[in-house]
């Protein structure tokens, strides 16, 4: 049997992992899911370790992927708000399952890392 060198064919979840588990995707989606529609500055306050440039890039990518909606309100000053879309919210069960896995297994991962690092 010939194997494909293309990781997207060899592992059908690879594109999903690339979309959902980029460095800041999960914290941004979690904040929008947990706190609802927010302005950029509100997200920036909640995600204190992210730079404004990276937050802007991540929000644009999430909007492009259909996971976040951006609404522009003309005015003085103009206002922009972000909210999670139905598509983005559909990831909730996946994140809940991962949280359950983390609670059950992260201590074992930490023990394995400690054992490895102590060698």
Asked if residue 91 belongs to a domain, the reply is: yes
In angstroms, what CA-CA distances link 91 with 50, 59, 66, 84? Answer: 22, 16, 12, 10
Asked if residue 113 belongs to a domain, the reply is: yes
Asked if residue 63 belongs to a domain, the reply is: yes
User: What is the domain count for the chain?
Assistant: 1
Residue closest to 59 by CA, chosen among 29, 89, 100? 29
pLDDT 10s digits, 8-19: 677 888 888 888
Asked if residue 2 belongs to a domain, the reply is: no
pLDDT 10s digits, 47-81: 999 999 999 999 999 999 999 999 999 999 889 99
Q: Which residue has the tokens 């730079």?
A: 51
Lowest mean pLDDT of 20-29, 47-56, 96-105, name the range: 20-29
44: pLDDT strictly greater than 60: yes
Domain that holds residue 74: 7-117
Question: What CATH code is carried by the domain that includes residue 22?
Answer: 1.10.10.10
Asked if residue 86 belongs to a domain, the reply is: yes
Asked if residue 1 belongs to a domain, the reply is: no
- Residue 72 in 3-state DSSP? strand
0.85 surpassed by pTM:
no
């Amino acid at each position: 049997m010939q194997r494909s060198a293309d990781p997207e064919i060899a592992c059908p979840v690879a594109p999903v992992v690339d979309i959902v588990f980029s460095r800041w995707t999960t914290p941004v989606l979690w904040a929008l899911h947990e706190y609802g529609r927010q302005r950029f500055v509100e997200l920036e306050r909640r995600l204190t370790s992210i730079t404004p440039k990276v937050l802007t890039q991540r929000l644009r990518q999430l909007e492009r992927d259909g996971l976040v909606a951006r609404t522009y309100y003309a005015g003085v000053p103009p206002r922009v708000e972000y909210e999670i879309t139905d598509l983005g919210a559909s990831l909730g069960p996946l994140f809940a399952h991962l949280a359950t896995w983390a609670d059950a297994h992260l201590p074992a991962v930490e023990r394995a890392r400690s054992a490895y690092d102590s060698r």
